Structure 1
């Protein structure tokens, strides 16, 4: 796989094409424009610790936005998964952890154009933040050094519809109850039914906000890291129709 030095302004042609992530005088705009989560050779295929540590939470979020724009434009990077696998085998330094839904139409790594080793990924129906998810996030950020927690909801979410309809089905019942606060908190003047797509999507957005609140109140560890500016907790919505990720 070939490096695209025309789009990666942080590559160092005098050092075998290896990337420079953050140098004195390099602007945030230049960093975001030129940096990709994965480079084109096995040596730089996965994030190193120093590369990840050079990024701020805001840089990482801008890189996510840029990746989604590539996805929408059909100009995604050529991912060399074997190179990424080799580069990350000895250790992983993901920049973020993403909490998203299990919906088959909303795979976070693909719609943000990322590769192996770039992010931790937690998926559960309705992107709820329960105790197990909080523990996973604490590992990702407090132990492994990830700098962004991104909660990603999506349009036309079946779990949201189930919560609106108060579905009762085995273990799913208690999961959908975790979404009920978002249903109740959603201000909406139209039909509050699962057949109303606009209401479903409004609840999905409320559910992202609710999950973020649960993260902050349920994990003093993560709240402290955010208060210190070491991490950022952000929310987003993915539109399954047009492929756009909107950050809330």
Structure 2
């Protein structure tokens, strides 16, 4: 499969870009990945890049957007930070990717059993990680109390996963609130902003 070109990128709509990611994830789950000549894609993209999607996801080694969506070189802008939240620099990167570089879908992707979220559930403190954890604790506070109050921590994996999903939702809200560029693009239909949860046990992504 060849790398994206200006023409193939322009042919994507927000809806078809999202469908391409869904189809890629289905191939990944079924172990039916497309055969790619990555060396040729390196050469094809040497003079320009035309990705169709931007994905914000965690640094977790099990969650690589290019792999789980079965995409090649030049297909995705991949933004990674523990806990997949946004700050000004990430918002700026997203604005570049969507407004200037032409991607059609912006995905905020969380995942099950997220270590950063577990740290937030336990209110972990460690050097510079403390500041990061505190940002994710807003999602912890927004999830309803479990019936058993002793399980409002990383020992309760269902609670952890609910917090991870809430964090995705809050991150999407923050994108729309803090980036007029991206909000206007979504409102005009130039992009779609979606959330997703990757299941580390099955390889499947649930979009919402």
- The interval holding the TM-score normalised by the smaller chain is over 0.9
Q: Does the CA contact (< 8 Å) of 1:188 and 1:199 recur in 2?
A: no
**Matched residue count:** 205
User: Residue 83 of structure 2: SS of its match in structure 1?
Assistant: helix
Which residue does 1:132 correspond to in 2?
89
TM-score by length of 1: 0.81
Superposition RMSD in Å? 0.9
Q: Does the CA contact (< 8 Å) of 2:107 and 2:195 recur in 1?
A: yes
**Which residue of 180, 191, 200 maps to 2:160?**
200
Distance 1:229 1:56 in 2: 9
1:22-101 matches, within 5 Å, as 39=1, 45-101=2-58
Say yes or no: does 1:220 pair with 2:180: yes
* TM-fit CA distance, 1:136: 0.3
Distance 2:36 2:109 in 1: 23
Question: CA 1:188 to 1:239, structure 2 compared with 1: closer, same or farther past 3 Å?
Answer: farther
Larger-Rg structure? 1
Say yes or no: does 1:230 pair with 2:190: yes
5+ residue gaps, structure 2, are: none
* TM-fit CA distance, 1:79: 2.0
Distance 1:131 1:179 in 2: 16
Structure with the greater relative contact order (CA < 8 A, sep ≥ 6): 1 or 2?
2
* TM-fit CA distance, 1:170: 1.1
TM-score by length of 2: 0.96
Distance 2:145 2:16 in 1: 35
Which residue does 2:125 correspond to in 1?
168
